[in-house]
A and B are shown apart, each in its own frame.
Chain A
């Protein structure tokens, strides 16, 4: 494990977004999160600074000793660019500058809450970001595995894959959990399963979620039916950046809410074997119908978006996201031929504030960001460099 890591650039990390997986015309990514706590320690919000510090140290050392670096590592033959050997990078978030933490949030490697830290009774409010003991371990080079320490639960193990690959993501999370379990004693009861701070996660502690791109269903209005059906099946529907976020650019995260009384395999089978393939088919049908019945209008929307993205001089993150969503639809439907899916996916991340500043190599205020964003998109889409 490297001690104080520097977050790699987008081009080497975020494997799930760069690489295109199964059903990637609709499914952006598959994620599995496991909530775990150490036996004998209070849950985070009830622990004082000293205890949180100790939990952090124990977890950090055990993560380093658990031999996690191979988990989720690519097995595909010879990558295009030679990659660094797999290793686990540890980031102590107290020492990360705000922009680095924002970068991790944008990459879905940590939650917003984890970036900010937890206000504890024995801390002054203003100090939280730099004093609350918390960190994250990230598997390099592909960032398929990450482990938040001292978030709501002591450990949050996350595995991610591009496209519809929930079984693979589960296998990674399961393996990481086994390896950590050999080093740590997890809070568990035969009746309630893995014990979590919030009883809504108790049992398996698992949340399996899929990020879907559903512009077709949004246009036909059938998205409301999908949301209702998901609700009836006890699935949560969230936006691109999770809890409370709007469905920016027609991206929706669908995930299980039931964690007690239903095994991991059953949750996996229901989602990846039944529900998601149906939504994927439903979305494809909506797209086909739009193309045959409102083809000109659809094409118009795609090309207007492309026109705006390649000519605007000021762009907000929200507008970019919405326009990129339209272009993405055009690309996967074959309406646009000179833009590829990986480039569109990349721009969705690179146009977020922290990534934008990283790419531009300088700090930018909001106004400057709008300008830089438009510039970056133009350059990338027109391939003028």
Chain B
């Protein structure tokens, strides 16, 4: 079940009520992603049904955005900023250390399905460089030595 009947009905009602339903594509994709972690082919098809569009019309939008995941991701996605301010304050070393700690390369997911590691562009936290985002939490002024504790904290937050 990608979305509950209730959610589908609600979204369909909003689609009916807005003058420009297509404008809701990202809202629907976000809803599916929030519920499932990512947007599968079936997710694209469901979005198309809700919006009254063809799957292709949804797909060409879904594949454009890097924060809509069209492939499975871990329970938490680590977005590490690799843009200029963070680069100038050591993001490359952070990225290497993260890969080491997680035992994966950028773009991969840990075997336990916990984390996916993705580089991202500027998070708008340039004064707190180097910055990274894990799930919904933004971490600024990250020192290499803090990484292990940050990952541990994020792991326990999920299990609790």
B is bound to A: no
